[in-house]
Structures are given as structure tokens and as C-alpha cells.
Amino acid sequence: MRKVNYSVISQQSPPVQLTFDVDFAAIPNLTDHKTVILNDQIYISFSTQGDRDLFLFKTDINGNRIGSIVTVVSGSADPTNDMILTTDGSYIYVLHFDPPSQHHVYKFNSNLNAVGSPISTTTLMHNNIGHSVYRNSIFHLFTGSTFGFNSSLTHTKWNSSWGAISSQNILGSTGGDGNFFSTGAIFDSTNQRWYIALNHIYAGQSIGQEHIDLLAYDSNFNLLERKHVTTENYTRPHLVQKGGHLYMTYDRPGVGVYLRRYQVSGPVAYCTAGTSSGGCVPEISGLGTPSIAASSGFNISVAPVPGQKQGLFFYGTNGRMNTPWATGSSSVLCVKSPTSRTQQQNSGGTSGCDGTLSIDWLSFIASHPGLLGTPTTAGQVVDAQAWYRDPAAVKSTNLSAGLEFTMLP
């Protein structure tokens, strides 16, 4: 394992060894692996030579082993390589293929104790090589419809117990080409976009000549952008998002592992949202395009906030800050002065964490000429934040995180 500097990706730590000869005294050679992070601990699953066994272990965030390697399955009649490793934020799930079109699912707690009996997915047809993202109590599984040629990128949805919900092809095969091996998938909650990295092969090529494509979808899986990332014979893409950047690793068999960094266009959430007296932790997001040529169509939303409370947005054009809102408050002031504010609005909802604050920022600016930052210009950076009433909190108020966006032509 190596650690990589997010800002300067060429700066990497010395490698840390995670497994040792003694681990494999009674285990065949490792052939495939996956990783996931939960509560600042790294969980690693791996298969072994013959692809009939599957194991799981964990380390701290620095790669120091915690506990022993545990057996997920031994002597499986179904292949254990190209497994999928995912989490719902509380448990770890290890999946391996159940031919011809399903998965076996094994559930573990954070201490690597098995929870319940293994289950198998049913009904929704999908291939084995892919990735799973847990969002809004749903496992989103991205795989090919088959392996290699004539494969469509398939999105299947499963409830928290891995019961089938729905299936859709989100990138069809054209002329016999293949969209498969989708081992990279992530949801960008700020920009409300899905990013998926996969192997693509043209009809007429041979397996082993596939290259990597990177796809961007909106939240309804309308394709926004497709980028051919590599030449042929690259595989196994994985994605991580940090701030306004998307990081992708991939490898070339027998040659090495590579890392790329992409600027993610669109608003970026930063700073830390305060926790309301009722336990609400709102997220801030921007949906649409902040274009100077438009008078509407860029919406800033904050949810969940306490229901039936007054709130507003304020913004500035002088950059970010990170200053406590008040002594004892969990909120942080994220926008440098000078600032300007919108009108107050009611959050709606009831008395729980079901309120929302939302504004079409372009419409607001268009109808209030002369405010701070107007007239807007392309390239102008705006920072915004929400304020809302919370009578039981310090200062009787709380703040969201900040949202930074750049005005476009």
C-alpha cells in the first residue's frame, strides 16, 4: 500500500506490506483483491490461486494489520475472483459470482464477524465484474450485462437486504462493442452526478485490447460525458473523490499501476455543517449550470434542516474561511466578508429533520441588480452558505457547510 498526496499525486509514501509469507503457509497464492474504507479502517478481500477461496482482513489507515485473516468461503463451487467489496456505513459486504448472472453475498460486522447466513441475489440479470455504491438505503450495482463483446453497462438496484428492486441498461452495446469491468463507481452528492469507470472494447478487437472509459451521468443516469482515458490493454479502474477532484487508478497487466487526477466541474461543498439541536446534519448542493448568460437554472439546496424554521442564504466573492460560529456551536462560518444575503424563507416540513432551504441563485441575482458581485462575470468564484433558526442552539441559529462555484460563460 502507498499513500498519495492529494494535491501533488507524484508525492507518494514508501510502500507498506499488508500480507506476509506466514499468512500463506496454508493459503494458496493471492490472485485478486478489493479494498474499502469504513471508520478509518481499511478492509481488504482477496481470492487465491484456483479461485475457489475468499478471505478478508483489515488494517488501520496506515496499513498496520488489525486481527487475523478470516475465511469468507473455502472450496466454493463458484469462482471467487473479481469479487465486489462494499459497505453500507455499518457492515462490510463481500460478493462473488453466482453464475450465470447473480452474486453470493456475505455480511460481516466491523470486527470481521460473519452476520447471518450468506444469501444470493435473484431476478435481476448482471455480470460479475463491477462495483457497488450504497446510497439512500439502496445498493447500486454497476456491471456489464455480460463479459466482453456485446455487453451493455447495467445498473441494478437492491434494498439493504439485497432484495431486487430494478434494473436498467445505462450504456448499450453498439455494433457488438463491449462495456464491462466497471470496477470504478462513485456518486458526487455536490454536483448530483455519477462517475463510472469501465473497460471498453471495440468490435473486431481481441480480449486483452480493451481500454478504459470514464463516464459522467446526472442523478437520473442521463449520460453527460464520455472520455476515452487510455489506449488498449489497460484495466481495473477504481475511483476516489476528494473535494473538487476525481482520482482514478488503473493498471496495465505486467507493467504497473497508474493514477490520474481530474478537475470535477461544478460546485464543490467545503467546510463543515453544524448539527442542529435536533440532530439534523444538512448537506449543501448545487444543481444546474451557474452561467452568466442565464437568468435561472442554478439551484442551491440545503437539506435536511429542522422543519418549519426560517432560513436564508448568504454569499461572498472574497473566498473561503473556517471560523467557529460561536463558542460551543458546532457550526462554522465558511464565507469571507463582505457578504450579501437572500430573503428569508420557511423550511417547510414538520418538526423533524425534514425541512429544505432552496433558491435559484441565478434568478435571485437577476432580480437584484446592484448586489454584491453583480454584474457577474465568467470566472468569478462565489461562496455560499445557509443560515437557519434553531432556538435551542447556541446563538439560536445554525449554519450549513459552504458551497463554492465558478461562474461560467
Q: pLDDT (tens digit, 9 = 90+) per residue, 189-219?
A: 766 789 999 999 999 999 999 999 999 887 8
Cis peptide before 338 (omega within 30 of 0): yes
Helix (H) or strand (E) holding 65: strand 65-73
Q: By three-state DSSP, how is residue 294 classified? A: coil
At 320 the pLDDT is: 92
Q: Which residues pair with 399 in a beta bridge?
A: 387
At 241 the pLDDT is: 92
The CATH number that domain 21-263 falls under is 2.120.10.10
| pLDDT level of residue 26 (50, 70, 90 thresholds) | confident
- The CA distance from 200 to 144, in Å, is 10
Is residue 188's pLDDT more than 90?
no
Is residue 404's pLDDT more than 80?
yes
| pLDDT level of residue 265 (50, 70, 90 thresholds) | low
Is residue 409's pLDDT more than 80?
no
Q: Of 50-54, 132-136, 207-211, 287-291, which gets the smallest average pLDDT?
A: 287-291
Same CATH fold, 268-406 and 21-263?
no
The CATH number that domain 268-406 falls under is 2.60.40
Tell me the average pLDDT of the chain.
Answer: 94
The conformation of residue 25, written as its DSSP 8-state character, comes to S
What tens digit of pLDDT does each residue of 100-114 get? 999 999 999 999 999
Q: By three-state DSSP, how is residue 120 classified? A: strand
Average pLDDT for residues 68-74, to the nearest whole number?
Answer: 96
The per-residue b/e assignment along 248-275, b for 16 or more CB within 10 angstroms, e otherwise, is bbbeeeeeeeeebbbebbbbbbbbbbbb
At 315 the pLDDT is: 97
Is residue 343's pLDDT more than 70?
yes
- The CA distance from 141 to 405, in Å, is 30
Average pLDDT for residues 31-47, to the nearest whole number?
Answer: 96
At 244 the pLDDT is: 72
Average pLDDT for residues 387-391, to the nearest whole number?
Answer: 97
Give the CA dihedral 50, 51, 54, 60, nearest 10 degrees. Answer: 90
What tens digit of pLDDT does each residue of 238-249 get? 999 987 789 999
Q: By three-state DSSP, how is residue 234 classified? A: coil
Average pLDDT for residues 314-340, to the nearest whole number?
Answer: 96
CB 73 within 8 A of CB 106: yes
Q: Of all residues in the chain, what percent carry a pLDDT higher than 70?
A: 99
Q: Where are the domains of the chain?
A: 21-263, 268-406
At 44 the pLDDT is: 98
- The CA distance from 116 to 160, in Å, is 14
At 102 the pLDDT is: 95
What number of residues does the chain have? 409
At 71 the pLDDT is: 97
